[in-house]
Amino acid sequence: MHEWFANYGGRREALAPPRLSIRERECLAYHGEGLMTQEVSYRLNISEATVRLYLATARHKLCSQTTCGAVAKAIKFGLI
């Protein structure tokens, strides 16, 4: 909400969306569909630890503490 008011008031330009890797976007998209880490790792043919790593880096890039928040921000920015 604060970000919207700052942009609306002309005090700040809109933030550019972060650059996510293809795998980070895929992992976020699958989690957005409700899949668990084990199912995502099976579909992408990678380990569960790798899925967790991709999600952690995506959360960091999107400045989100939760995967759910990261999914929401990725949708907002049109990344997934």
Closest Cα partner for 71 from 28, 37, 36, 33? 28
Cβ-contact 23, 31 below 8 angstroms: no
pLDDT for residue 2: 59
**What is the tens place of the pLDDT at every residue in 36-51?**
999 999 999 999 999 9
Using pLDDT thresholds of 50, 70 and 90, give the confidence band for residue 59: very high
Q: What is the CATH number of domain 20-76?
A: 1.10.10.10
Q: What is the distance between the alpha carbons of residues 28 and 19, in angstroms, rounded to a whole number?
A: 13
pTM of the predicted structure, to 2 decimals: 0.80
Query: Is the pLDDT at 63 greater than 70, yes or no?
Result: yes
Domain locations in the chain? Answer: 20-76
